[in-house]
Chains A and B, each alone.
Chain A
Amino acid sequence: MMKILVCISNVPDTTTKITFTDNNTQFNTNGVQFILNPYDEIALARAIELTDGGKGSVTVINVGEVNTEATIRKALAIGATDAVRINAKPHDAWYVAYQVAEHIKANPFDLILTGRESIDYNGSKVAGMLGELLDIPSVSIIKKLDVTDAEATVEREIEGGKEVITIPFPFVAGCAEGVAEPKIPNMRGIMSARTKPLAVVEPVEVQTLSEIISYETPAPRGQVNLVSADDPAKLVELLHTQARVI
């Protein structure tokens, strides 16, 4: 029986226009729809495939306040067996990883999956921090994950290629596209999600190592300089003499 833990985060929908309040110190959540992080959907889908047909269980874990429960229920509807919510604001990746690692120390898993990154803070940090806190291997970005009884084979993304690695359990991996196709919950899943166990756990004390103090939005670009479709040579000239990029 393989026990898999999938770390899930609750992030602004990808169409969100990002704005800030309080003198650019707070993310403006007004009217923002929150979703299950797209990479975590991939991790979850693979976990479900690997345990399908009674071969194991999939627990999802989230560090978040009560408003993340809709996202947790979505993960249960997709097919997770049960869920844990650590009842705290996810201060930063270190805080999240520390809380999740404490939970894993008390409840061991064979395989721990995260997304390659959260689409809000994009750290790609939780997987590596978990690996270090638990003193087990971690692979930050994988494109493929296959398992046998004793070990897993993963493909790690590298610049201009890939690396094929075998790793014994337990280990942590950050999942990216290619690992699985996200699954859409069906009616039965949605019904059963309501009654699946969702444990709420209080956080432990953690030393603070970083703090977001403000946000900035990118400087707006000037007007587009249009070149006639008949004269791409003009574009090449502008890129050379004006923009100086070729």
Chain B
Amino acid sequence: MSVLIYAENAGGKFKKSTFEAVSYAKAIAAQNNTNLIAISIGNVAADELAALGRYGAEKVLNVSNDKLKNFVNQAYASVIAEAAKANGADIVVLSNSFSGRGLAPRLGVKLQAGVADGAVALPEQNGGKFTVKKTAFSGKAFAVVELTSANKVIALTPNSYKVVEGGSAAQVEDFNVEAKASDFKEMIKDIVRSTDKVSLPDAEIVVSAGRGLKGPENWGMIEELADLLGAATACSKPVSDAGWRPHSEHVGQTGIAVSPNLYIAIGISGAIQHLAGVSSSKVIVVINKDAEAPFFKVADYGIVGDAFEVLPKLIAAVKEYKASA
């Protein structure tokens, strides 16, 4: 018995969401008095791999097969399942990232495991029952799911578990599996990553704007504020529908669900479908010229005012704060 964590990297580096997942998996291993093994696939430097020990991994399996350099869903799922079997891991943890959402269901089938996707808290294990709390109804509620199978797969929602540091460097081992040719039917032609921007699902701060901004030409202020705060930018659905911003920025029930530490909503009314995707943010700030806007009902801080007047002052205030910090 052991816990296996799939440590996802982006361009050879581990992300914060990976450290969260390793910390989370470590806590599950501790609950069960067992050890935590990490698996990394792709080109990651040895010291980066060993550093996973700081978050609780005792051993890191390194899969550096050239064919597996880039994410191939089927093949990665096979490798992780093999590693779980070879190490007697009955609990597999991963991040509920875009790749994680591809892997978790395939792993569930391969391992005959119940899958808890979008987990937001540590499992509870009482009287032989293993339950996990996960998001449901697009952030409007949580469901407590019992995994009744012997093997279990858990995909952790980014920003819902704190990174815990403490351990020392992990032992890194090569892990080789014969990759099945039939696992490589898909071919990656191109990968486009805007490296200068904070990615929305992982962002700790999100600056989001709605139809109140009037037009795409006014997003300069939003981007400036986001840059100053190291934040990702987001928008409401009508804004992406109108083509003012890309679809990948649309948050809400039918868009991306985010749970940053700070969500700043500017010129967004706070329709129930928008709130669904953002209500698990830790702190919500609303800037809207209409004091009756529904968003104020779920906000922690608010400014009733015209965005075109408030934003320049807010940007100046953030600059001043940063200069003095």
Question: Contact residues of A with B, CB < 8 Å?
Answer: 12, 14-18, 20, 38-39, 93-94, 97, 119-129, 131-133, 135-141, 143, 153, 156-168, 171, 176-178, 207-218, 221-222, 224-230, 232-233, 235-240, 243, 245-246
Contact = CB atoms under 8 A, between A and B. Distances in A.
Contacts of B306: 229
A217 B316 CA distance: 38
Contact of B262 (A140, A222, A239): A239
B129 to A, nearest CB: 8
A163 B115 contact: no
A84 B185 CA distance: 29
A161 B185 contact: no
Contacts of A124: 101, 105, 117
24 contacts: A14-B254, A125-B104, A128-B104, A128-B106, A129-B105, A131-B74, A132-B105, A138-B74, A141-B101, A143-B247, A159-B200, A161-B194, A166-B187, A177-B247, A210-B115, A213-B144, A215-B144, A216-B141, A218-B139, A221-B284, A221-B299, A224-B300, A229-B306, A239-B283
Contacts of B201: 159
Contact of B283 (A97, A136, A228, A245): A245
A213 B97 CA distance: 25
Given A18-B141, A160-B195, A235-B303, 7 more contacts: A132-B77, A137-B74, A143-B247, A168-B185, A229-B306, A232-B316, A246-B262
B79 to A, nearest CB: 14
B65 interface: no
B285 interface: yes
B192 A166 contact: no
A242 B102 CA distance: 39
A177 B255 contact: yes
Given A38-B254, A161-B191, A171-B185, A229 B101 contact: no
Given A138-B102, A138-B106, A141-B101, A224 B302 contact: yes
Interface residues of B, number: 102
Contacts of A229: 303-306, 309-310
Contacts of B200: 159-160
A132 B148 contact: no
B184 to A, nearest CB: 9
B317 A160 contact: no
Contacts of B146: 210-213
Interface stretch (B20-28, B40-48, B130-138): B130-138
A151 B99 CA distance: 22
Contacts of B54: none
Interface stretch (B82-90, B162-170, B272-280): B272-280
A43 B213 CA distance: 31
Contacts, number: 284
B262 A163 contact: no
Contact of A224 (B77, B250, B301): B301
Given A138-B106, A218-B280, A156 B98 contact: yes
A163 B145 contact: no
A226 to B, nearest CB: 5
Contacts of B303: 226-229, 232, 235
A204 to B, nearest CB: 16
Given A139-B186, A164-B189, A177-B240, A158 B99 contact: yes
Given A129-B108, A212-B144, A213-B145, A157 B189 contact: no
Contacts of A213: 131, 144-146
A193 B302 CA distance: 49
Contacts of B135: 122
A222 B103 CA distance: 38
Interface string B195-210: 1011111100100000
B177 interface: no
B179 interface: no
B182 interface: yes
A164 to B, nearest CB: 4
B272 A211 contact: no
B286 interface: yes
Given A128-B106, A177-B240, A121 B189 contact: no
B64 interface: no
Q: Please indicate which of the listed interface residues B115, B149, B202, B280 has the most CB atoms of chain A within 10 Å of its own CB.
A: B115
A233 B317 contact: yes
Nearest to A243: B283
Contacts of B268: none
Given A119-B138, A157-B248, A243-B283, A128 B302 contact: no
Contacts of B282: 245
B187 A245 contact: no
B301 A18 contact: no
B285 A239 contact: yes
Given A124-B105, A177-B255, A229-B310, A159 B202 contact: yes
Q: Please indicate which of the listed interface residues A157, A176, A245 has the most CB atoms of chain B within 10 Å of its own CB.
A: A245
